[in-house]
């Protein structure tokens, strides 16, 4: 590629990026004072940091946070139960934060802004505003995008740490963003990483209690208050962390079963630990495709994660080969080296059969 062309592409990219933020800001500034907002967020540290920033922005600019809620355990973003919980708050508009980008509306007829950094569907995203992090390099996390979106519109300088919670949550404490470097200096890396651990534990716990972790983020003046127990939510959050750690220890002792390239760890836990267990087992089984399957997360289903370290392996291709046989067209989404899903027990048993178990 010649230099001119490279330069032009950089310019195009910058323009795309600014346009996305401008469009999203127009959506937000168009909300009148007193407008009632619903915030739908992914309950991990990134999505929760993003939601806490958005809630503070709305409150500081005279709008009302009618509801801020993540899908509960077993609830689907596009399912009836979740939609009804959002609609019960009678929102004038909806923010959808860190949920992935889907060619589907969460709420029909409610003006919506989607902020996401996962993927961009070829069909597009049906929303009045859509901000995708994939226009930026390096790709920011949702909390960082929310910070970049909102900080020019209101003074949020005292809560910039919420963006850092999201960056560390998704990408670790060395994520390559200038905002993270300054946040670590201002608020302390240890307090930030501790906050991330507590927020993520709430989501992974048997209770899947993303309300308490969001409340802690919205209550605290600084991450130090969460990390050192100065918020009322602290006791519950540390209980969640102990529960998740104990369940990880217990289930990590599961003996793997092998079939060809595949290694299966099958266990039962109310905690969302299948991802971490698959990740820790690929360290021990780097030449296998590790399938960690949890029978205890929601009744009647198997929640599973698949990981591999094999070079040139594509887990998505592997799993998609079974879509037709299993009648599950959404099987095999995520990343080539890290994927997962949820299947009814009988369908999962059929998958195991096809894999040779
Ligand atoms: Mn994220």
Tell me the pLDDT tens digit for each residue of 132-182. Answer: 999 899 999 999 999 999 999 999 999 999 999 999 999 999 999 999 999
Under the banding of pLDDT at 50, 70 and 90, the label for residue 12 is low
Work out the widest C-alpha separation in the chain, in whole angstroms: 61
Distance 41 CA to ligand 1 centre (A): 10
Cα gap 169→43, rounded to integer Å: 11
Q: Give 90-128 pLDDT, tens digit per residue.
A: 999 999 999 998 899 999 999 999 999 988 889 999 999
Most confident of 74-78, 242-246, 337-341: 242-246
Distance 327 CA to ligand 1 centre (A): 29
Mean pLDDT of the chain: 94
Q: Give 18-58 pLDDT, tens digit per residue.
A: 779 999 999 999 999 999 999 999 999 999 999 999 999 99
Q: Could you tell me the end-to-end alpha-carbon distance of the chain, in angstroms, rounded to an integer?
A: 49
Distance 261 CA to ligand 1 centre (A): 31
Q: Is pLDDT above 60 for 326?
A: yes
Q: Is pLDDT above 70 for 129?
A: yes
Distance 258 CA to ligand 1 centre (A): 33
Distance 350 CA to ligand 1 centre (A): 32
* 3-state secondary structure labels for all residues of 137-186: CCCCCHHHHHHHHHCCCCCCHHHCHHHHHHHHHHHCCCCCCHHHHHHHHH
C-alpha 168: how far from chain center: 12
The reply to whether CATH 3.90.76.10 applies to domain 3-239 is no
Under the banding of pLDDT at 50, 70 and 90, the label for residue 11 is low
Cα gap 235→137, rounded to integer Å: 39
What is the b/e burial string over 85-95, where b = at least 16 CB atoms within 10 angstroms of the residue's CB?
bbbebebbbbb
Residues β-bridged to residue 132:
116
Range list for CATH 3.10.310.40 in the chain: 252-355
The listed CATH number (3.40.50.300, 3.40.50.1580, 3.40.50.1700, 3.10.310.40) that belongs to domain 252-355 = 3.10.310.40
Range 203-226 average pLDDT: 98
Q: Is pLDDT above 50 for 1?
A: no
Distance 354 CA to ligand 1 centre (A): 33
Picking from 143, 142, 116, the residue whose alpha carbon sits closest to that of residue 129 is 116
Distance 3 CA to ligand 1 centre (A): 33
Q: Residue 18's pLDDT is what?
A: 77
Q: Residue 333's pLDDT is what?
A: 84
Distance 22 CA to ligand 1 centre (A): 21
Cα gap 290→306, rounded to integer Å: 5
Distance 259 CA to ligand 1 centre (A): 34
Prediction pTM value:
0.91
Which CA distances in Å does 29 have to 41, 88, 302?
A: 20, 24, 44
Q: Residue 19's pLDDT is what?
A: 79
Range 229-245 average pLDDT: 98
Share above pLDDT 70 across residues of the chain, in percent, rounded to a whole number = 95
Distance 201 CA to ligand 1 centre (A): 16
Sign of CA dihedral 291, 294, 297, 303: positive
Distance 166 CA to ligand 1 centre (A): 7
Distance 39 CA to ligand 1 centre (A): 15
Range list for CATH 3.90.1640.30 in the chain: 3-239
Distance 116 CA to ligand 1 centre (A): 7
Range 306-322 average pLDDT: 94
Q: Is pLDDT above 70 for 3?
A: no
Picking from 67, 58, 220, 221, the residue whose alpha carbon sits closest to that of residue 153 is 58
Q: Residue 2's pLDDT is what?
A: 45
Cα gap 29→13, rounded to integer Å: 24
Cα gap 325→171, rounded to integer Å: 36
Could you give the angle at which helices 210-219 and 234-251 cross, rounded to 10 degrees?
Answer: 140
Distance 143 CA to ligand 1 centre (A): 7
Q: Residue 15's pLDDT is what?
A: 61
């Amino acid at each position: 590629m010649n230099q001119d062309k490279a330069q032009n592409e950089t310019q195009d990219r910058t323009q795309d990026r600014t346009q996305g933020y401008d469009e999203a800001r127009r959506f937000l500034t168009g909300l009148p004072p007193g407008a009632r907002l619903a915030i739908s967020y992914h309950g991990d540290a990134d999505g929760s940091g993003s939601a806490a920033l958005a809630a503070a922005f709305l409150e500081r600019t005279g709008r009302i946070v009618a509801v801020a809620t993540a899908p509960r355990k077993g609830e689907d973003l596009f399912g009836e139960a979740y939609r009804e919980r959002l609609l019960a708050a009678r929102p004038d508009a909806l923010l959808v934060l860190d949920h992935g980008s889907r060619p589907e509306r969460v709420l029909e007829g409610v003006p919506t802004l989607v902020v996401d950094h996962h993927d961009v569907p070829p069909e597009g995203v049906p929303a009045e505003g859509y901000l995708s992090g994939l226009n930026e390099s390096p790709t920011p996390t949702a909390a960082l995008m929310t910070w970049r979106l909102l900080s020019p519109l209101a003074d949020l300088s005292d809560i910039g740490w919420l963006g850092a919670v999201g960056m560390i949550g998704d990408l670790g404490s060395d994520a390559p963003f200038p905002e993270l470097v300054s946040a670590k200096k201002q608020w302390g890396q240890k307090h930030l990483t501790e906050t991330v651990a507590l927020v993520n534990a709430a989501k992974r716990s048997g209770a899947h209690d993303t309300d308490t972790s969001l409340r802690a983020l919205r209550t605290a003046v600084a991450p130090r208050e969460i990390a050192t127990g100065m918020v009322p939510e602290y006791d519950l959050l540390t209980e969640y962390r102990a529960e998740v750690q104990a369940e990880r220890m217990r289930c990590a002792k599961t003996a793997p079963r092998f079939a060809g390239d595949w290694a299966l760890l099958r266990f039962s836990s109310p905690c969302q630990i299948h991802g971490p267990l698959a990740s820790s087992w690929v360290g021990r089984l780097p030449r296998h495709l590790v399938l960690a399957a949890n029978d205890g997360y929601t009744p009647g289903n198997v929640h599973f994660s698949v990981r591999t370290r094999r070079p040139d392996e594509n887990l998505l291709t592997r799993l998609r080969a079974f879509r037709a046989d299993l009648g599950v067209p959404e099987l095999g989404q995520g990343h080539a080296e890290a994927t997962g899903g949820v299947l009814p027990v009988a369908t999962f048993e059929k998958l195991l059969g096809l894999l040779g178990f």
